[in-house]
Amino acid sequence: MCGISGFISKRRITLEDLTAMNDTMYHRGPNDSGVEIYDGAGGYAVGFAQRRLSIMDLSPLGHQPMHAADKRVSVVFNGEIYNFQELKKEFSGYPFCSQCDTEVILAAYEKWGIDCVSRFNGMFAIALYDRDAQEVYLVRDRIGKKPLYYWEDGENLVFASELKPILACPGFDRKLNPDILPVFLYQQYIPEPDTIFEQVKKLCPGTILRFRLQPDNGQKRRECFSYWSIKESYQKGIADPVTDFSQAKAELKAILQKSVKSRMEADVPLGTFLSGGYDSSLMTAMAQEASEAPVKTFSIGFEEKQYDESGYASAVAKHLGTQHTEEIIREKQMLELVESIPQYFDEPMADSSEIPTMLVSALARKQVTVALSGDGGDEFFCGYQMYQKLGQAQKLDAAGALIYGISQLPGLKQANLLGRLPFSVRTIAQNRDKRYKTQLCSDKYLACVKSLTGTDQVRFDRELDYHVKNWQIRRMLLDMDTYLPGDILCKVDRASMKYSLEARCPILDQRVMEYSFRLPHSFKDHNGCQKYILKEIAYDYIPRELLDRKKTGFSVPLDKWLRGPLKNKLTDYASPAFLKQQGLFDADAASKLIADWLGAGDGGAYTGSNYSRIIWAFFIFQQWAERYLQA
């Protein structure tokens, strides 16, 4: 795990400039750094830089930028190639100097060209310079585990693992992307390919960017193309189904075992995050199965007993025989982290679970450098409660259409029949737009965002692209393309790298993801039992009574914080004078919303009037803007 940055530019960017850019990511790689600039064709210079967190081959031989034996190709790389030892057998004539996976990338490119990335099983962001072809490639892994940003400045391009190096690049204009603000307020994160800045993009998962320093006639200087996608992989999977449950369970279990084992390869101490839920417990059980010594496991608990699940994690750890460490977190510790969010999440991120994720990462880093997590289980195996609600909503859709039609009749519309219906009925009745069928929401939240920003176009319009009738499956695919890389994986990457900790996700192995698409949906949601096949595998390791319970999860008390210790700061951000000077939100609407909410708080379950999430996103944005726009 590392941080990479660099440029392809005709503008003068010095070695000192690139070093300063690279060092903004010291936390991503405290063990080593490398900065180099090369002369390219067409008046270009190519700069490559890396901050290294040593995981494989801790010797200086793993230093980056790394060069091929014939010096034709150079690379900087963030992540892990888990099948690099298998790939290495393909290059019997290559003069390897190290035992790290970076060198295998160079050998693979020399043999197969850029198509080599289709053979990599791992998490990665790669920048590669081919001197013969005078081309630079940027590559991001299939599901977006590793981040990669780029800024196009005319005919120049600057890239980095985070925004901070780009912000530090001479000549960068911190011009905000105003169109993304309403999306952020509603979604709580900024989805690919957009960023908070108008001129910066995220490279999408499963995508290659090619930059030609000297394009021939008719060739584009920069182009992006996909080498893997959720949609195509899903279509291939359903064309080759596994219909026998016993076979599916055995094969999926074997694939997961291989995935976990490959992620335990490291030359540094390794452990697992253990919440006591199905996914983390299963990953821990398989890690312990593959280990000769007790695996180190980590969990956090909370003083608020209704949220504290540390006892379940301890029970699972005891059953599996792991070396378990837990810490009970005080509310003060969580509040202290709020101020640091913009420093490490260098574009606005309002998923409040980033705070406990940072805390468990800090705990783990005291003993290990690598931690396995259970991320991806909910999206690929139908785990979220939202999916269950969507199954019910689809069954009621016809009735909802009838209710909506009746409510629009003369007289009934004027009498606001729809507004008098219970929240859940009204939500289903109003869900008439085919583009957003699986993105159920309260009309009040859309109206709230529109009052602040002038638009309510905040949902994803790609649902119909999947050509899937089942709403649960359609939403799962949508989440894999949006929420998983944009929120979950971004959160885990930034929270863990804050402490120079590498997080690995076995469920997001290419083989697991692709196999999941071959499974009938009933193997995932079996008569209302979600993640059914994963649970059945977990029971092979852990007694049902330790796992079968309603998962509480931990929610940061946003209402309490924003109306308590963060109130003064929120009030300052909501000042009409400040907002009018800032010019990003409707000052009167924002001030009124926050003043009313501070007086009344959230409306409660099934009211459609819980505005704390939107106000938290507003608060997080303003805290971010204070650091990056006023700097």
Q: How many CB atoms lie within 10 A of CB 583?
A: 9
Cis (ω within 30 of 0) for the bond into 170?
no
The pLDDT value recorded for residue 418 is 85
User: What value does the mean pLDDT take over residues 574-584?
Assistant: 96
Lookup: tokens for 129: 């310079």
pLDDT one-digit tens code per residue, 241-292: 999 999 999 999 999 999 999 999 998 999 999 999 999 999 999 999 999 9
The pLDDT value recorded for residue 630 is 76
The pLDDT value recorded for residue 114 is 98
pLDDT one-digit tens code per residue, 70-90: 999 999 999 999 999 999 999
Half-sphere exposure (Cβ direction) of 114: Cα atoms closer than 13 Å = 22
- Are 355 and 362 a contacting pair, CB within 8 Å? no
Q: DSSP of 335-393, one letter per residue? A: HHHHTTHHHHS-S----TTHHHHHHHHHHHHTT-SEEE--TTHHHHHT-SHHHHHHHHH
- Check 2, 100, 116, 382 and give the catalytic one: 2
The pLDDT value recorded for residue 631 is 55
52 pLDDT above the threshold of 60: yes
Contacts of 194 (CB under 8 A, 6+ apart): 177, 179, 180, 183, 201, 202
3-state secondary structure 441-474: CCHHHHHHHHHHHCCCCCCCCCHHHHCCCCHHHH
In total, the chain counts a number of residues equal to 631
Q: What's 230-552's CATH class?
A: alpha beta
Residue of 386, 294, 245, 347 whose CA lies nearest to 623: 347
Half-sphere exposure (Cβ direction) of 611: Cα atoms closer than 13 Å = 24
Lookup: tokens for 619: 């608060």
* Least trusted range by pLDDT, from 124-128, 226-230, 281-285, 339-343: 339-343
452 pLDDT above the threshold of 90: yes
3-state secondary structure 122-188: EEEEEEEEECCCCEEEEEECCCCCCCCEEEEECCEEEEECCHHHHHCCCCCCCCECHHHHHHHHHHC
C-alpha–C-alpha distance, residues 386 and 374, integer Å: 19
Q: Is 2 a catalytic residue?
A: yes
pLDDT one-digit tens code per residue, 383-418: 999 999 999 999 999 999 999 999 999 888 887 888
The pLDDT value recorded for residue 416 is 83
The pLDDT value recorded for residue 557 is 87
223 pLDDT above the threshold of 70: yes
Q: Burial, 220: exposed, middle or buried (Cβ in 10 Å; 0-12, 13-18, 19+)?
A: exposed
C-alpha–C-alpha distance, residues 532 and 76, integer Å: 41
Average pLDDT, the chain: 95
Residue percentage of the chain with pLDDT more than 70: 99
The pLDDT value recorded for residue 23 is 97
Contacts of 527 (CB under 8 A, 6+ apart): none
pLDDT band at 1 (very low <50, low <70, confident <90, very high): low
178 pLDDT above the threshold of 90: yes
Angle at 481 between CA 122 and CA 7, to 5 degrees: 60
C-alpha–C-alpha distance, residues 255 and 506, integer Å: 10
Q: DSSP of 37-97, one letter per residue? A: EEE-GGG-EEEEEEEE---S--SGGG-SSEE-TTSSEEEEEEEEETTHHHHHTT-TTS---
Going by the DSSP 8-state scheme, the letter that residue 197 receives in this structure is B
User: What value does the mean pLDDT take over residues 374-384?
Assistant: 97
pLDDT one-digit tens code per residue, 527-569: 999 999 999 999 999 999 999 987 766 668 889 999 999 999 9
pLDDT band at 465 (very low <50, low <70, confident <90, very high): very high
pLDDT one-digit tens code per residue, 103-116: 999 999 999 999 99
- Are 614 and 622 a contacting pair, CB within 8 Å? no
Residue of 607, 566, 329 whose CA lies nearest to 442: 607
What residues form DSSP beta bridges with 5? 49, 160
C-alpha–C-alpha distance, residues 442 and 434, integer Å: 16
Residue of 344, 334, 361 whose CA lies nearest to 503: 361
CATH of domain 2-228: 3.60.20.10
Identify the three-state secondary structure at position 118.
Answer: helix
Q: Where are the domains of the chain?
A: 2-228, 230-552, 557-631
Task: Give the predicted TM-score (pTM) of the model.
Answer: 0.96
Going by the DSSP 8-state scheme, the letter that residue 11 receives in this structure is S
pLDDT band at 591 (very low <50, low <70, confident <90, very high): very high
C-alpha–C-alpha distance, residues 389 and 366, integer Å: 40
Q: In the chain, helix, strand, coil percent, each to 5?
A: 45, 15, 40
Q: How many CB atoms lie within 10 A of CB 219?
A: 10
495 pLDDT above the threshold of 90: yes
Residue of 435, 559, 488, 451 whose CA lies nearest to 182: 451
The helix (run of H) or strand (run of E) holding residue 202 is strand 200-202
Q: Residue-wise over 407-431: b if at least 16 C-beta within 10 A, else e?
A: beeeeeeeeebbeebeeeebbbbbb
The pLDDT value recorded for residue 411 is 83
The pLDDT value recorded for residue 553 is 62
- Are 360 and 273 a contacting pair, CB within 8 Å? yes
Helix (DSSP H) and strand (DSSP E) numbers for the chain: 29, 19
The pLDDT value recorded for residue 59 is 87
356 pLDDT above the threshold of 80: yes
Furthest-apart CA atoms within the chain: distance in Å: 82
C-alpha–C-alpha distance, residues 171 and 21, integer Å: 13
- Are 7 and 46 a contacting pair, CB within 8 Å? yes
Cis (ω within 30 of 0) for the bond into 193?
yes
